Chain A
Amino acid sequence: GQNIDQPTEMTATEGAIVQINCTYQTSGFNGLFWYQQHAGEAPTFLSYNVLDGLEEKGRFSSFLSRSKGYSYLLLKELQMKDSASYLCAVLDSNYQLIWGAGTKLIIKP
C-alpha cells in the first residue's frame, strides 16, 4: 500500500531551526510537495521537489532523496507565525496526490 509518514507534532523555539521529516512508500514517484496549513485555513504551497537535493527558498528549504524515499522541510529563524501544520504529499505514478497526516509545529517564545 501507499504510505507517507511524518511526525505528529514538534516543538521548537522562536529564532531556532527545525527539520520536519517525511518518509514515503508509494507506487511510483512524480514529485513531493510541502504545504503549510494554519488552523481553520486551507493549505498553502511551500515547495516542490522532483530531483534529489536541496531547494532553498528564503527561510524554508526542502530536501529530497528518492533512493531513500525521504524528504525534509527545514525552517530557519523560526517566527511565531510559523506555528502551523506542515503537510507532505507525494505524486504517485498515476499523478495522484498522496497526503501525509501532517506535522503540527508549535513555536515557543
Chain B
Amino acid sequence: GAVVSQHPSWVICKSGTSVKIECRSLDFQATTMFWYRQFPKQSLMLMATSNEGSKATYEQGVEKDKFLINHASLTLSTLTVTSAHPEDSSFYICSARSGRDTEAFFGQGTRLTVV
C-alpha cells in the first residue's frame, strides 16, 4: 500500500510553546489529508480536513487559530499546535488519500506530551 510518513513520532514540549507535525505522502499525490486526535482508549476524532491549495475545514469545537493546518503541496501537510497546554497532550494522526473514493492511509502518529 501507499506510504504516509508522519514526523516526529513523539515530542515533549513546554506549556506555551508551539509544535509542528509534518505529514508526507511518499509515493502518491494526496489530494486530501485528514488530521485526527485520539485520547487514550478512545476512538479517532477528526479535527480537520484539508485539500491541497485550499483552507482546511475544521470540525465543530476545534479551534482553527490554535491548530494551524497547511496543505501547500500534494505531498505535504503540517499541523501546528500553537501555545500548547497540557490538555493538548494526545496522539495526533494524519491520513491521506489520492481520490475521494479510495482508502485513506495513515501516518505513524505523533504522541504529543505538553509539560
Contact = CB atoms under 8 A, between A and B. Distances in A.
A and B from one complex = yes
Interface of A: 30-31, 33, 35, 40-45, 48, 50, 87, 91, 95-97, 99-102
B109 A87 contact: no
Name which of A31, A42, A44 has the most chain B CB atoms within 10 A of its CB.
Answer: A42
Contact of A45 (B1, B6, B46, B100): B1
Contacts, number: 46
B4 to A, nearest CB: 9
A42 B46 CA distance: 14
Nearest to B102: A48
A87 B44 contact: yes
Interface residues of B, number: 21
Contact of B106 (A40, A43, A48): A43
Given A42-B93, A45-B1, A91-B101, A99 B43 contact: yes
Name which of B34, B95, B103 has the most chain A CB atoms within 10 A of its CB.
Answer: B103
A33 B103 contact: yes
A42 B93 CA distance: 7
Contact of A97 (B104, B107, B109): B104
B100 A95 contact: yes
B108 interface: yes
B101 A45 contact: no
Interface string B83-107: 0000000010101000011011111
A44 B100 contact: no
Contacts of B1: 45
